[in-house]
Each structure stands twice: as C-alpha cells, then as structure tokens.
Structure 1
Amino acid sequence: MAAVLLLLSLFSGLYIYKAGLKEGKEISSSAQPMDGTNNINNQIENNGSKSAENTVENQIENEAGKDVKNNITNNITNNVEVNVQGDGDVVNTISNNISNSVTNQNTGGSGNGNGDGGNGSGGNGDDDGNNSGSGQSWGIDTASPLTEELSVCVRDNFGDPKVVGRYLGEKEGVSSGLTKEEVDLIKSNNDEILLIHNRFDDAAGFDKGVEEAEEAIGLAQEIGAPQGTALFADIEPNYPVDAEFIIGWYETVSSSSYAPGIYGIFAGDEALTAAFTEAVNQDASIQDDTYLWTAAPNVGITTEEDAPEYRPQAPEGSKVIGWQYGLDAQACNIDTNLFNNEYTDVLW
C-alpha cells in the first residue's frame, strides 16, 4: 500500500525507523534536555502505489520538558498516486505537548502530492502550549513608519516579528500611511504585512461601509498590494457600528480582488460583536469569508518569548486570523500580536 520512513532526532542522537505501512503509523517521542535544549525532528514520507487504494494515517505525538528551549519540527510528505479506479485517504495528526519553558519553537508541516485522479486530505491537530493547529506567528502593529531604527528597537526589546501591521494612507494625528520604502524593508526581513484601513470614525450604515471599502481598495492598489490580500477595517470601541456597515464593507471588498477583514474588540458584550453577529444572521457567507483580527482579551505587552497561550475572543465559528493581546509598548511604539498561521496566506 505505502511505505514509511521516519527520522527521529533527539539531542545529538539519530534514530532511524523504516517499516511497511498498511493503515498508518503512530509515533510518540519525548525528550529530556542534555544541555538545556530539546531538539525533536520528525519526518515521515509515504509513497503510495498507483492503481491501488491508498489509505494513509500518520500520527505524531511529542512530549517536551519544561524550563528548557524546545525546538520541534514535524514534516509529513504523502506522495499518493492513483488512477481513475483508485482512491486515496490521507490523515495527518500532530500533537505537541509542551510544558511552560524558556522558549518553545514549533514548526509543523505536511504536504500531500497526488497523481492523476488522486484525492487527498491532510490536517494538523491541536497543540498544547503556545501553539494550536498549524501554529502561530508573533507579530506587531504600529502607527509609526517602520524604519530601520524602529525595527532594531523591536528586535532588541521584544523579538523578531513575522507579521507587521501597518495602515493604508495617513490619518492625521493618529497614524502614518504605509510607504513603498517600508514595504521593501519589511519584505527584506521576510515578514508579512497586515493592511489596516482606519480613515474613518463612524461604522454605521451600508453606504458608509461601501464608501470605506472603496477607499481602502484604492489605497491598497496604490501601494501595490497583491490580489488576495485581506484589508482590515479598523472599528474602534467608541465608534458607532451596525450590521449594515459590515455588510457594505464585506460586499464591496469581496467583489474586488481583495479579501474582507475587520479589526476590533470582539468580546461578547461589545457593540461590534453584536453588529457582526447580526450581519452574519443576514448573510452567513460573511462569517465564512471575513477574517477577524481581535483585540480581546487585552493581557498586556510581552516579548515574543513570553507571549501568552493563544486564546483570542471572537464570535464562535469565525475566521480569527490574529489576536492583538498587548497595547502601547513603552520601549517602542508597537502593539504585540499572535497570528494564526492557518490564515496568514491572506497577508501581503
């Protein structure tokens, strides 16, 4: 049916396991530190034959200790070829149980390759600790221009962001607009850009939603944002807000080459949460296609190393791309965030 090659590396030792696969393979690994660092590397490769029914189930469970640095890498590659008569099912489950420690780095990856007529599905299970599903990336947002000086300040005091939130166009006295020079600097660091539209202070009415969406689309095009990038309407807690604005924003952005997003405090008792829920009740596709970036709950600024467990608040079933968990750092003009890697393909 298929064959499995597992490479499991603990510390400096290397363990190789090779076996035939009938219905899948379950791998459990644990590490106790020798020098204050756990290095766990799991690699599984499945090669399924053509003209056969290939059923592949992979499960990896990692146990890592506390008060140490845990580096965990999980890679699964499924090469399954089937013809018209063949069929294929692929299931990948990864669980990382990481105790609170100095730093944890988890890289989970899975890839499925299918031949003619092949069908495959893969997924990563929930992780305990600071990662869930496909994992999170630490990031920042700032109302200031992202200069080299600010970048150094962030790295020296907080960490290395993988996502940078910046604003479309200037809002006088509030935020500067993203420039092409900033884009070049951010991209030179291999970081992604989250685009924020905040040039309004009233989020009520369908026509207003359309108006703000059209402006955001134009500003995104001016700066060269690629197709498929999400645009986030910044709805502050003191703004008037209703479902009609959200519907107008959603319909207009969705009809463009960009994806709709909304930023705000999506706690249960907020007007924004009620407005979003009402909009979804009128059009269920709003929940399916809108990315939410929530500022709830606010647990305070941290370094990347001390980022909290990922627990954003937002309406059940919504696509929560990120959590702005800390506001107004003192050392640098930034807020701190965690972003869900499942959805970051809509960032620039």
Structure 2
Amino acid sequence: MGRKLWGIDSARKADQDLYNCVKKYYGSPKFWGRYLADVPGVSRGLSKLEISFLHSRNIKVMPICTVFDQAVSYEKGTIAVRNAVFHAKRLEIPEGTAIFANIEHFFTVEGEWIAAWAEMLLESGYRPGFYHDPLKGDFGDAYCKAAGKNSKIAAQSILWSSRPEAGTGKAYEAPDYNPATTLCKGNTWVWQYGREAKQCSINMNLAEDKMLKFLY
C-alpha cells in the first residue's frame, strides 16, 4: 500500500496560532487543505502570504473550491471551473496541481456538472479533484454516470472521500488507510477520516504518497 501522508484541512486560515495548536496537540501535517476564495460567513480564502507561511514549514497546499451549493448542469460546472482557475492563477498555483470541488452530501449533483469540472479543468492544465461522500447523497451515481461516458474522468480525477469517520487524534494514531469508495472505478487517494478536532478548528486526512506531485 505504501506510506500515507497525514494532513489537515480547515476553514480557518493557516496562521501561526493555528499551526502551533495543530503541532502541539496532533502532529506536523504534510499538507493543508484550504479554500481558494472567500466563503461568506465561513472562511477567508487563501492568500499568497498564507501559502508562503505553509511552504516555509514544508507543508503542501491542497486547494479547495467551494463557491457553489449545488452541482447541476454542464454550464454551471464550466462557470465553477472558470472561477477556480481564476483564483488558482491569481495565487500563482502551478498547472498540474489538483483543485478539489467541495461537494457535500446534501448538494444536488448531476453527471453533467461532474463532467464539466473534470473535462474543463484538464483542459486548463489543472488536475480535477472531488471532495465527496461516496455513501450518502447524489455524488456516487453522478460521478459514475460521468465516468461511464468519458473514461478520462475516472483515469484523471482524484477522489477525496469523507467516509467513514474514524474520529480525531494524534497523527501517529491515524487509522489504517481505508476510505469508502464509489461503486465505479476511481482514484480515491485522499481520506478525511476525522472532523472537527477538539483542540483546534481542523479536520484530519490521510493521503496516498502519490498525491504529493498534485499538491502545491
């Protein structure tokens, strides 16, 4: 199976206080998932200064796009991609980096939107990623429909599973890598196994080491 990378994601920006909290109570993350743009009432978006802060501590950035609350139609998927690419370019995130669409289990999801996200991101030079719940909600069926029509979607996309939830704890106590997966072929290379850690405002993840080249 190979070694696994321990990382986190947060709505709160990565600053010295949060980094110190994470290191004190849980461990040193290899990667940190953050939103590309502001989410009103939820989070400030990534900045070049924040990226520099993380890089100075040898932490890779995992960009997340969450400026939508449903994933329907090819046209809207294309708009989401344009938004994501705009912010990635603004932040000087290089092509080849995976950008994850944040798809919650309560979203309405259609295969056409999935196809647009994957196909248009690949055209732009970035790698398509999907944060999702493979067991609950619309994502699994929509993804499999899209992948059934275009084999490149399954081959080139990276899946970030939110199931099962194994709880939070120190990095060395992380569970064996065992994310839930979709019913069709897919590269499930990231697993969010723990949510809302008690001591710090973070979620916990494991990733395949092959993810390193798709992080910034």
TM norm structure 2: 0.97
By percentage of residues, which structure has more strand? 1
Aligned residue runs from structure 1 range 66-215, under 5 A: 132-133=1-2, 135-215=3-83
Task: Decide whether the 8 Å contact of 1:168 with 1:196 is kept in 2.
Answer: yes
Q: CA–CA distance in 1 between the matches of 2:107 and 2:137?
A: 11
Cα distance in 2 for residues equivalent to 1:229 and 1:163: 13
In 2, the alpha carbon distance for the partners of 1:252 and 1:347 equals 19
2:118 alignment partner in structure 1: 250
The partner residue of 1:291 within 146, 150, 158 is: 158
The match for 2:207 is: 339
Aligned to 1:37: none
CA distance in 1, matches of 2:178, 2:49: 34
2-structure distance, mates of 1:344, 1:295: 19
Task: Give secondary structure in 2 for the equivalent of 1:342.
Answer: helix
Q: Point out the structure with the larger helix share.
A: 2
Match of 1:306 in 2: 173
Deviations for 1:211-255, whole angstroms, at most 9, x for unmatched residues? 101100000000110111011100111111010100111111010
**Cα distance in 2, alignment partners of residues 216 and 242 from structure 1:** 19
Q: Percent identity?
A: 33
Name the counterpart of 1:101.
Answer: none
Distance in 2, matches of 1:336 and 1:143, equals: 12
One of 110, 132, 139 as aligned partner of 1:272: 139
Q: 1:280 corresponds to which letter in structure 2?
A: A
Contact 2:110 2:142 in 1 (8 A): yes
Contact 1:139 1:164 in 2 (8 A): yes
For residues 158 and 226 of structure 1, what CA distance do their matches in structure 2 show?
Answer: 30
Q: Which has the higher contact order (CA 8 A, sep 6+)?
A: 2
Letter in 1 for 2:175: P
The residue type equivalent to 2:60 in the other structure is E
Tell me, in whole angstroms, the C-alpha distance in 1 between the residues paired with 2:59 and 2:185: 28
What amino acid is the match of 2:21? C
**What residue in structure 2 maps to residue 323 of structure 1?**
191
- Report the AA paired with residue 297 of structure 1: P
Aligned residue for 2:84? 216
Aligned residues: 215
Matched-pair contact (CA < 8 Å) for 1:321–1:344: no
| Deviation for aligned residue 1:344 | 2.2
- Partners of 2:74 and 2:112 within 8 A in 1: yes
* CA apart distance, 1:270: 3.5
CA distance in 2 between counterparts of 1:260 and 1:321 reads: 13
Distance 1:271 1:225 in 2: 30
- Residue 173 of structure 2 aligns to a residue whose secondary structure is coil
Paired residue type of 1:275:
A
1:217 maps to amino acid: V
Q: Judge conservation of contact 2:4–2:206 (CA < 8 Å) in 1.
A: yes
Shift of 1:343: 2.7
Alignment root-mean-square deviation, CA: 1.0
Output the CA distance in 2 between the equivalents of 1:338 and 1:149.
Answer: 23
Q: Distance in 1 between matches of 2:42 and 2:91?
A: 20
Aligned equivalents of 2:150, 2:48: Cα separation in 1: 36
